[in-house]
Structure 1
């Protein structure tokens, strides 16, 4: 079976070379960016997803990658370091859970991403990650644009942390700007299948008016970031698997957050999508889990740790028609460079004082 992104597949050629504007960085170029929603059209995006009780949320199909043959597992060794190990601390202002439990307390930072490609509605998974203005989301690169359909960035992109049964308990966060690695943008190199997205302040409905619920990180916190780490650390992976297994069994609905746990191996190789250095973890998540956070050092008491990957590939590798493996790009210094381009940027609010939606992007 072949490893493909968890619902779509990757095409060759630089599909986004014209649609993404390069950010000035030291050679070689690392980061590219693209606008998702302006403050002027963010209101229309919000209305699209929340109309009719969130009917479009429930109608979205999973988007991602799946295996098509047994992948080549080269070794369990670690990657050649391109720099010293580094971390960005998680948010410090989210209180710990009052009572300890033997169960895993699911992170408030995790949620679902919703977007439109053409006329079709899709979903992925994602997580809030720490940033200067507490407004940053980490997900998979293929959850920002569709390289199969030769699309530019995804339309009507939103993030819903804590999504549950069609509800948005912490508000809806409209995407503002997406940052990806240059090699993902131009070459569709799945070893760089990650994205960091700035989002506007969260929005919720209060009777006949909209209310601004504040920056993402003030509501749910933000995971830290870890890069150039030794492979094999205990890892929690969270996501919203939605697709049926290949045998037709719907073990998941996409309406609730799930997790897997284990120690990843390296490298996972899949030449059809230019993967040479993915981490791999035994896990039965299906399409819809793409973009979900891989977290090391996770504290169930604080519900926080360090983001060390995002789900990229997944599917069946033993031929029993049931998903059994997921993978993530290895987070290195270039991942940190992409993160650094997005982390200091401000987003703002799209709610006017009278409770209507519109252009209020004034810092």
Structure 2
């Protein structure tokens, strides 16, 4: 019986802390960052993923770290918040649906992350989150920083909101810079398994030319952020499960967005990946759902709420070879510090006037 960080089959290794540039946001050190793609290599990254009708999108495997045993549920009350509860409002200019519905409208903000490690193609889940320039993505730390090959960050990192059957309905957003917690970077502490990534304006193909479709948040909106919250609030979790259950059943394809709903419990403990205070939710999502948003206060009309976690671990806890549990780091004031380091940064366009991609990264 194993629990996997919802992404797959890879075992954890060391990270090269020296390869990241520290951001002095607090003492002790909280945030590290690293470059993902420059405007100069954007064309190569985009062509890699969109060639042959997006064949590489469909070929990507779910990515994750390996659990050594089933995590324990230790009831010790709620987490120790490191400050008062706080929120960042969601995007204000996304209109609500014209009519109310009893159904769950899936968020436009959710999508799939794709990246390369060595010669292997991988995918995770993620969501747009509100920021100054509407250009920020939240996902799991292990979906950005390579914990296996000791590389600094994943290669050819892109985000596709609304991904569906190999299509990118709102464009492809190439990652510019990634931010994570110092303890994830240096100690591989899965209690800090989250990352915030700035992305360039979206890119789409039209009449044989690349076009700039604008900032991510202006296209699909951005979830708010909540931290130091009481555990147990009604929560929606969204993601793109891809891997088979332990019994070999491929219940999911990874090509459509799925969700779970419930009230998380605390804490889940798993020392093999240094987890001491994850929150957990009963859910059957499999690998590929890593990095998917945990949202409280979700409005199905507006398709927005408050990001309060990202899927980190998951798997089978009762031994029947069927995934039944997912977990997330607890979002506290230090999570907010990492978010604050990324949220005010600008990215801009990498599409030139002639419809080609390149060095147009000028504010």
CA drift at 1:126? 0.1
Deviations 1:271-312 (A, max 9, x none): 000000000000000000000000000000000000000000
**Closer/same/farther in 2, CA of residues 163 and 18 from structure 1, 3 Å limit:** same
Structure 2 length-normalised TM: 0.98
Q: For the Cα contact (< 8 Å) 2:130–2:221, is it kept in 1?
A: yes
CA drift at 1:102? 1.3
Q: For the Cα contact (< 8 Å) 2:64–2:290, is it kept in 1?
A: yes
Distance 1:148 1:209 in 2: 37
CA drift at 1:65? 4.2
Deviations 1:231-273 (A, max 9, x none): 0000000000000001000000000000000000000000000
Q: For the Cα contact (< 8 Å) 2:12–2:65, is it kept in 1?
A: no
Q: For the Cα contact (< 8 Å) 2:173–2:216, is it kept in 1?
A: yes
CA drift at 1:68? 4.8
Give RMSD over aligned pairs.
1.3
Deviations 1:119-162 (A, max 9, x none): 00000000000000000000000000221222220000000000
Distance 2:42 2:15 in 1: 25
- The worse-fitting range, judged by mean Cα deviation, of 63-72 and 330-339 is 63-72
Distance 1:12 1:235 in 2: 29
**Closer/same/farther in 2, CA of residues 299 and 157 from structure 1, 3 Å limit:** same
- The worse-fitting range, judged by mean Cα deviation, of 22-31 and 207-216 is 22-31
Structure 1 length-normalised TM: 0.98
Distance 2:305 2:256 in 1: 21
How many residue pairs get aligned? The number is: 363
Q: Which structure 1 residue ranges, 5 or more long, are not aligned?
A: none
**Closer/same/farther in 2, CA of residues 248 and 76 from structure 1, 3 Å limit:** farther
Distance 2:138 2:295 in 1: 12
Distance 1:12 1:303 in 2: 35
CA drift at 1:207? 2.0
Distance 2:16 2:227 in 1: 26
CA drift at 1:29? 0.1
CA drift at 1:209? 0.4
CA drift at 1:76? 6.3
Deviations 1:317-346 (A, max 9, x none): 100001000000000000000000000000
**Closer/same/farther in 2, CA of residues 13 and 28 from structure 1, 3 Å limit:** farther
- The worse-fitting range, judged by mean Cα deviation, of 337-346 and 65-74 is 65-74
Q: Which structure 2 residue ranges, 5 or more long, are not aligned?
A: none
**Closer/same/farther in 2, CA of residues 255 and 305 from structure 1, 3 Å limit:** same
Q: For the Cα contact (< 8 Å) 1:8–1:148, is it kept in 2?
A: no
CA drift at 1:10? 7.4
Deviations 1:204-229 (A, max 9, x none): 00021000000000000000000000
What residue number does 1:333 align with? 333
User: SS state of the match for residue 340, structure 1?
Assistant: helix
